[in-house]
A and B are shown apart, each in its own frame.
Chain A
């Protein structure tokens, strides 16, 4: 493979560095669980992370064809079978990921459904023009992130040979570069800018259905859906900062109101490294709350790999001792590998023995100087051996599990006698490790080579990888991390100039950014917490449409919406509201706020009033309101009620404490005067009427509304605490 670059001057344009700027790994730092770590601890580790957020855009059609977007189907009309071959980049180099995928020799099957896929997605028709709606949304998001907009979109092909896109590449275009958004998380002590490296507009890939052996199957309905990818600088310095950053970016995209919601509509890739390590990418994390444990685990995986490297260095293990000539069957070209099928055939270790009986080849690889390191922990419950097993799993594609064992496990698999025999045949010393794996002959050859490649990588430390997230918080090897060499221009699509007119239209209609909104809410009197919550709430527009007056009215309304909208939404739809369309119209609630502002009802009544308005949607607003409005004669009726309570109290509660009497009496009187008489006033007058002592009035009695921060007891229990977590 030719390197086609001329020696260049020292300065120049380079891809962002993949290596952590600090080269001193904190090898002595103890492995600690996430909850025991402080931000200072991560600083010691040299932890840094960045995000790549993929967000589907809510457009009627796909990005490069006019198939409907956002459909999810299970029906299959037809299937096609494809393979992928690596191709050259524009600069004449093969991408290393591409070469790796080629080694896997996968058959790729695409499931097609007539309604959601056309010949474009099947890669049987060139692309149609880029969807303008999507371009506008991408511009809008780029503007919100304060990015420098490009003046012409160039559609590029970003190679993906894993089959997730039938063309073998993703069409993607850079929209904007080098921006930032305000990043304020008081609970983490964060108050700075989050720098955004870039935003690109691209097509979504297929959904994987299965991946067994050499066949991988994909569903194509999602393929081609417009997607923005927002990449941050790697400046998120703890797992919780990372999570907060992800939430912030989600809020930015949601602020446009033009992004898809629901499972898989937004997916995060995370780049992580620690001092002495290098960027590793964890792919496709759907939930923000999973981010901290994943990156925490990855940080310690890197640290452990660096410890393994240090130990290998101490033992004097050299790269050359692990290298193997190109071409040929490994057991024929290097003494490090042996075909041990005949030995395994007679062993008592069932998985290997059965494999050989199936006709597979078993081979043993000697790893000089690796003795004891294969059981070195890398992640919770995971050892270094899994690093090796993962490579075999992904690249040699074994169907049967397990497909590997190793000498550090002792007699758990093969007997000590067999291990000794293997060690003799391989010329292994006590400090060496032996890996035995079994697979069909050709795959076994691939596997043996991969074992040696991964072992060699251990001397480098952290291999550049993308990793998939597992439910237990650990990650597994997915593929070699691709470089910029996998990008080349899409010759099917002409460059698309972005007219100034389009940019100014987008700017004119730019939605209010969450941080701008938050500041506005602070200005009309909301406290910091309420303003933050409201700024990103689905009902923020509803709040704005009602136009509450500054001060108490705004505070009351914000509180009531925050508490009651999710409750009513869940009551009616079984879920929290996600879309503005799921909310009640402003016209239903505004009159209540107007009445409150005019002093026609007292603030304590607002929650109850809103509840009634939303529970009885067919009842006219005025009818509901009327029951809470102050009317002439309220005073007489109050006096009558007080009198009645005064008369009945001795009969009902004879001999009970004044406190109980007062509570009972409030229960008798207050509800009918909600909105008309302030609870404190009602209480004071009852105290006077009943002649109960002052000690009873020290407690605030739970009647009516006290600013949204309290609700009726029954409702509180109906809302479990987890609703506080509004993160998707």
Chain B
């Protein structure tokens, strides 16, 4: 996302641009606009490219922006020029030899950000100096190095990015950093977390993914707390795994460290959107302290040995089953050359009879078929009902309690690693590598409190939610 600084009509096109040209006005001009609506004075701001081409945007002396429609303009008079250069105050990030060293890899997202006039959107600010300028607490935790790998929004992350990210993570570990933090947009953070969990094996130091649900340009943002806690977990935490570090409750209290293969974004916008499914989170992080709440985590090591297997087969998909699904949906995927299909089935792992023949054809064509659950919680158990047993016979392999998205990432990775060895792929898929399948689901691994019930009400009155 590069800003075309030289364009004097940033974002303006069509009739507005004509008006500007007619009166010799460019963006950042301070103008007096005589209009049919009266007189307006302000600084002419760039226009977001996604907004219409009919309005000029003026920033008034009192700080407000207003829009003036082009056909109301009678005259524009230039009365000044004041170009804003938006900059996060940058100060040199202080280093302390006694502090651990952390590498922050940037993928985009809103961990630290600034406003972009062109789109009216928030764009990331990232250098250690910029970060120090907005979150000075980081300097008390570690010595920070940053590297911006991509500038993509989370939804634009793709397998090619996973490969680079995995290699760069491995590199940072080998270079001796005491922890890696990865700044990431939240939408697909759990996909990337899963990819790194499989691609970066047995890391000696924490690999912490972090983002923010409220952009960092706002006072109430969760970004600073997330970044502080993620950096702490990476620099000084004891757990050497791929973990997602995001808000525990919606209150500014503590963060949770979720295992990269069990975590999922569960709400479009709340701060506490990331939840561990089918298990409990690995740890809590708060005010310079990582408190494990599970006991099966891999501890930090002093060595720098790590295995990076960066590979991905892109012809893998998820078929989200729905009643009435037609077999041609499956056939089409096979015809288009898909090598693996993760089915998100109903209940214990079911699809309707109608698509059986299509599944059989897919199996015969050598397409890998795996069953996961739309219910997200619970295990695929295809021996319970006849339906399940029938589907098993069609060559569909159950994946226990692996989350559908995790199964998708894992299959893509397994096929990437073993493009010509179906048995090896199958073995990888059915063996838990990084907690993606667990042997047991604790009673509190599924805990969606139902609002309105007296005992839940009583609980909510006692705690900050």
Contacts and interface: CB of A to CB of B under 8 A. Distances in A.
A489 B451 CA distance: 35
A15 B30 CA distance: 13
Contacts of A77: 457, 460-461
Given A82-B252, A125-B269, A2 B89 contact: yes
Contact of A8 (B72, B82, B218, B271): B82
A483 B62 CA distance: 8
A87 B252 contact: no
A9 B218 contact: no
A122 to B, nearest CB: 7
A82 B65 contact: no
A488 B250 contact: no
Contacts of B270: 119, 122, 124-125
Interface stretch (A152-160, A580-588, A660-668): A152-160
B115 A491 contact: yes
Chain B CB within 10 Å — which of A5, A76, A152 has the most? A152
B40 A87 contact: no
B218 A168 contact: yes
A2 B84 CA distance: 11
Contacts of B62: 15-16, 198, 484, 487
Nearest to B119: A491
Interface residues of B, number: 74
A151 B68 contact: yes
Contact of A81 (B60, B82, B252): B252
Interface in B75-127: 79-90, 114-115, 120-122
Chain B CB within 10 Å — which of A150, A152, A497 has the most? A150
B82 A152 contact: no
A161 B62 CA distance: 19
Chain B CB within 10 Å — which of A2, A15, A159 has the most? A2
Given A489-B120, A495-B51, A85 B224 contact: yes
Interface stretch (B209-217, B231-239, B393-401): B209-217
Contacts of B271: 124
Nearest to A200: B64
Given A4-B86, A77-B461, A90-B86, A150 B220 contact: no
Nearest to B114: A88
B325 interface: no
A85 B219 contact: yes
Interface string B364-404: 00000000000000000000000000000000000000000
B64 A156 contact: yes
Given A8-B80, A119-B270, A150 B214 contact: no
Say what secondary structure dominates the interface of chain B. loop
B220 A149 contact: no
A81 B464 contact: yes
A90 B115 contact: yes
A9 B81 contact: yes
A573 interface: no
Say what secondary structure dominates the interface of chain A. loop
B30 A12 contact: yes
Interface string A479-495: 00001111111010011
B86 A91 contact: yes
Given A15-B63, A90-B86, A152-B67, A9 B80 contact: yes
Nearest to B82: A8
Contact of A80 (B54, B452, B465): B465
Chain B CB within 10 Å — which of A10, A92, A198 has the most? A92
B41 interface: yes
A178 interface: yes
Contact of A154 (B64, B122, B225, B452): B64
B38 interface: yes
Contact of B122 (A123, A172, A491): A491
A532 B258 CA distance: 69
B386 to A, nearest CB: 43
B326 interface: no
Contacts of B43: 13
Contacts of A122: 250, 270
A126 interface: yes
A14 interface: yes
B80 A85 contact: no
Contact of A87 (B38, B213, B217, B267): B217
A700 interface: no
A79 B67 contact: no
Given A88-B217, A491-B115, A152 B66 contact: yes
Interface in B342-361: none
B251 interface: yes
Given A4-B87, A79-B465, A80-B250, A87 B221 contact: yes
A169 B219 contact: yes
B61 A11 contact: no
Contacts of B457: 77
Interface string A87-100: 11011101000100
A146 to B, nearest CB: 9
Interface string B33-67: 00101111111000010111011010111111111
Interface in B193-242: 213-221, 224-225
A11 B216 contact: no
Interface residues of A, number: 75
A123 B64 contact: no
Interface in A89-114: 90-92, 94, 98, 109, 114
Given A124-B250, A159-B219, A495-B55, A13 B79 contact: yes
B52 A497 contact: yes
A123 B86 CA distance: 25
Given A4-B86, A13-B79, A76-B461, A497 B217 contact: no
B39 A178 contact: yes
Contacts of B54: 497
Given A15-B63, A123-B214, A178-B38, A167 B115 contact: no
Contacts of B268: 125
Given A78-B465, A495-B51, A169 B218 contact: yes
B69 interface: yes
Contact of B42 (A13, A92, A485): A13
A158 to B, nearest CB: 8
Given A13-B42, A148-B38, A92 B219 contact: no
A152 B68 contact: yes
A157 B80 contact: no
Contacts of A15: 61-63
A174 B64 contact: yes
A266 interface: no
A6 interface: yes
A148 B41 CA distance: 12
Nearest to B221: A85
A216 interface: no
B63 A123 contact: no
B253 interface: yes
Contact of A1 (B59, B67, B89, B114): B89
A77 B463 CA distance: 11
A154 B67 contact: yes
Contacts of A546: none
B64 A487 contact: yes
A537 interface: no
A78 B460 contact: yes
Given A154-B65, A483-B63, 13 more contacts: A1-B89, A8-B30, A13-B30, A13-B41, A13-B43, A15-B62, A16-B62, A85-B224, A87-B219, A148-B40, A484-B61, A484-B62, A488-B115
26 contacts: A4-B85, A4-B86, A5-B84, A8-B30, A11-B80, A13-B60, A13-B61, A15-B62, A77-B457, A79-B251, A84-B220, A87-B216, A87-B219, A88-B217, A114-B451, A150-B68, A151-B72, A152-B66, A161-B219, A167-B220, A172-B64, A174-B66, A177-B38, A178-B38, A494-B51, A495-B55
Interface of B: 30, 35, 37-43, 48, 50-52, 54-55, 57, 59-69, 72, 79-90, 114-115, 120-122, 134, 213-221, 224-225, 249-253, 267-271, 451-452, 457, 460-461, 464-465
